[in-house]
Amino acid sequence: MSSSRDFVRFLLPVVVLAAGIALWELVVRVNDIQPYVLPGPSAVFQTLVADWPVLSESLGVTLLTTLEGFIAAAIGGVALALLFNQSKWLEYSLFPYAVILQVTPVIAIAPLLLIYLQQQTAVIVCAWIVAFFPVLSNTTLGLNSVDRNLAGLFSLYGASRLQTLRYLKLPAALPYILGGLRIAGGLSLIGAVVAEIAAGTAGAGSGLAFRIAESGYRLNIPRMFAALLLLSVAGIVIYGLLALISHLVLRRWHESALRKEN
């Protein structure tokens, strides 16, 4: 019963996807639309295969940037949250600026960063700026969500600050941290893409977003679609991986990872 429902849940989106692709192909063929206006799915796929050497290299560049930005965001976000948690003064002094950094559109900051930093560094900084805030705010929330009685218990048994942090606050915050990382994964990809686009107009670069911009100038629309497809798949894989890690880490104890009854 439940397995057949799982199957339907899996099947329906696939059917919708297949139908969408078929309709797209049909519209392109029936109306005889030229590839430089709108390529059909088959043309996109052919381009993907034919241009694979170029595209795969660009994919690697973008993924590396994303990974570096993500790691920087994860470390920076968690570390800042820990600092804020230990010192209210620090939190009051710095938190508003974290918010400002978050609400200022990164696409507007990117060109500025490219002036002062090397392109590779600027791209990573962009990815970091977009991705660190969800980690910071989620970790802060988690660190403050500790059960009061458990905190009382720790103080009753004379736990030091470090012990309380290590054995109580961090484990209690773990589900929140993982939730923040899941958001940060997708956001660091966006940050990397934004910076590449901003840098791409200056002429240097080789990431996927740069390929999109470049193909746009050359009216190589099928390659734009192919690169977009790769970006999209990369985003899905990143999200899936982080969700899987979160599930594996939490499955023994946290509500979010437990199998529902009935």
Please report, as ranges, the residues that interact with other proteins according to CB under 8 A. Answer: 147, 149-150, 152-159, 163, 167-168, 171-172, 174, 252-254, 258
Shorter beta-carbon distance to other proteins: residue 94 or 174:
174
Smallest gap from residue 156 Cβ to other proteins (A): 6
DSSP 132-191: HHHHHHHHHHHHT---HHHHHHHHHTT--HHHIIIIIIHHHHHHHHHHHHHHHHHHHHHH
DSSP characters for 178-238? HHHHHHHHHHHHHHHHHHHHHHHTTT---SHHHHHHHHHHTT-HHHHHHHHHHHHHHHHHH
Closest distance of CB 84 from other proteins, Å: 23
Q: Considering beta carbons, is residue 18 or 153 the nearer one to other proteins?
A: 153
Nearer to other proteins, 104 or 163 (CB): 163
Structure token pair of residue 108: 């507007």
Cβ closest to other proteins, residue 42 vs residue 164 = 164
Smallest distance from the beta carbon of 155 to other proteins, in angstroms? Answer: 7
Measured distance CA(78)–CA(139) in Å, rounded: 6
- Provide the minimum distance between the beta carbon of 246 and other proteins in the complex, in angstroms, as a whole number: 14
